[in-house]
Amino acid sequence: RPRKALNEALFFPSEIACVEHIFTPSSPHSCVCFLPHGVETSFSRLLRHILSTSSSLDLCVFAFSNMDLSRAVLALYRKGITIRVLADKDYTAITGSKIGVLHKAGICVRCNANSVHMHHKFALVDGRLLITGSLNWTLQAVQGNMENVLITEEPDLVQPFIKEFHRLWVLNDPA
Amino acid sequence: RPRKALNEALFFPSEIACVEHIFTPSSPHSCVCFLPHGVETSFSRLLRHILSTSSSLDLCVFAFSNMDLSRAVLALYRKGITIRVLADKDYTAITGSKIGVLHKAGICVRCNANSVHMHHKFALVDGRLLITGSLNWTLQAVQGNMENVLITEEPDLVQPFIKEFHRLWVLNDPA
Ligand SMILES: [Zn+2]
Ligand SMILES: [Zn+2]
């Protein structure tokens, strides 16, 4: 019998806690920083879902400046995950944006070139899991705002986002 | 056998078309404005879902200035629907915000009073249907931005939003 499709809602601002153990699961108790340890938060749940990627990650995020989320994407890239990033041209130029860092690391990045403002904040994990909501990938959003993120495997929700990502990816081909 | 839960994704910017027939379904061909008629768009789908409310509508939206969405909420209120609106204090003070209009009409409005920025954009229809995404309830978002709205009846997604709305509603009780 097939497993029930995953459906999960996360709310922010997230509690502030150390997320080092999520990046280094082999040595979970090694961190000596001053943040609380061993606490599961909305943000740690979000990070775990992103780091669960095994083959492909498609990102379409207006504002991306969060250090931990950037670290997660770079860690996936180094593992050989196929990553595509659709970003907003104006936000990408802002100090603190991580889009330049991802691009320099070798990740395929496209910016929307037209005047239509790119306001999405979604990710597609392995073409199977949709992560979407009001949350921009910034520290302000994670720690300072009331926000929501919805995580779902429902094909009726995931498939249209896959199609829209493909449409925008082709539309913003700089070639 | 129970009907399959509704799951739908809408993408913006929406095509621009007349929505008069959605407000006056009894005389669908009476409008003489210069917009295209008889076209179903992302925005008309969104309006239809909101106008499908039969008992209660809970709104938690950062920016609410869209005329048609305001008209829809007022029409529901006049029909006797129970409406609660959670709004952002700072955006509510902006010219063009419809929150004051809703409040003056008699609708129950609460603003977040603390420094945490309210960035949600969701609606709960009859405690059964969740409408959420990146889309603020503004004309700019509907016609000018790349945005998404997700509509779902999945209890695993709807219930946490009901709980969060209740938590924020109680938290921002001015009494
Ligand atoms: Zn630590
Ligand atoms: Zn018309």
Rounded CA-CA distance B168/B148 in Å is 24
C-alpha of residue B137 to centroid of ligand 1, in Å: 40
Residue type, A109: V
Yes or no: domain B55-171 corresponds to CATH 3.30.870.10: yes
What residues form DSSP beta bridges with A145?
A: B117
Neighbours of B68 (CB within 10 A): 19
pLDDT tens readout for residues B76-122: 999 999 999 999 888 888 888 999 999 999 999 999 877 788 999 99
pLDDT at B1 over 70: no
Residues of A in contact with B145 (CB under 8 A): 116-119
* Closest residue on chain A to B13 (Cα): A116
Q: Tell me the pairing of strands B129-133 and B121-125.
A: antiparallel
Establish whether A89 is a catalytic residue: no
Query: One digit per residue, pLDDT tens: chain A, 175 residues?
Result: 567 889 999 999 999 999 999 998 887 678 889 999 989 999 999 999 999 999 999 999 999 999 999 999 999 999 999 999 999 888 888 888 999 999 999 999 999 877 788 999 999 999 999 999 999 999 999 999 999 999 999 999 999 999 999 999 999 988 7
Contact by Cβ (8 Å): A43, A101? no
B79, B117, B119, B163: which is the annotated catalytic residue? B119
CA-nearest residue to A10 within chain B is B160
Instruction: Note the ipTM here.
Output: 0.93
Torsions phi, psi of A4, nearest 5? Answer: -65, 140
Q: Would residue B163 show up in a list of annotated catalytic residues for this protein?
A: no
Tens of pLDDT along B144-155? Answer: 999 999 999 999
Angle at B151 between CA B158 and CA B76, to 5 degrees: 90
Nearest chain A residue to B134, by CA? A134
**A interface toward B at CB cutoff 8 Å?**
7-9, 11, 13, 62, 112, 116-122, 132-135, 140-141, 144-148, 150, 152, 154, 156-157, 160-161, 164, 168
- A163 is annotated as an active-site residue: no
Distance from the first to the final alpha carbon of chain B? 46
B145 and A119 within 8 Å at the Cβ level: the answer is yes
- Chain A's closest residue to B151, CA to CA, is A157
User: What would be the CATH architecture of the domain defined by A7-15+39-171?
Assistant: 2-Layer Sandwich (3.30)
- Record the tokens describing residue B4, joined without a space: 């399959």
C-alpha B122 – ligand 1 centre gap (Å): 34
The tokens for A39 are 């606490």
Plot region of A67 (φ>0 → left; ψ -120 to 50 → alpha; else → beta): alpha
Segments making up each domain of chain A, as ranges: 7-15+39-171
> Could you give the 3-state DSSP secondary structure of residue A132?
strand
Per the residue annotation, which of B121, B156, B166, B173 is the catalytic one? B121
Q: Which residues neighbour ligand 2 (ion) by CB within 5 Å? A: B 18, 20, 31, 33
* Chain B residues in contact with A119 (beta carbon < 8 A): 134-135, 141, 145-147
Cα–Cα distance for residue pair B135/A25, rounded to 1 Å? 36
Percent of chain B with pLDDT over 90: 81
Q: Which pLDDT does position B48 carry in this prediction?
A: 97
What pLDDT is stored for residue A2 in this prediction?
65
Q: Write a three-state SS string for B117-153.
A: EECCEEEEECCCEEEEECCCECHHHHHHEEEEEEEEC
Chain B residues with beta carbon closer than 8 angstroms to that of A161: 9, 148
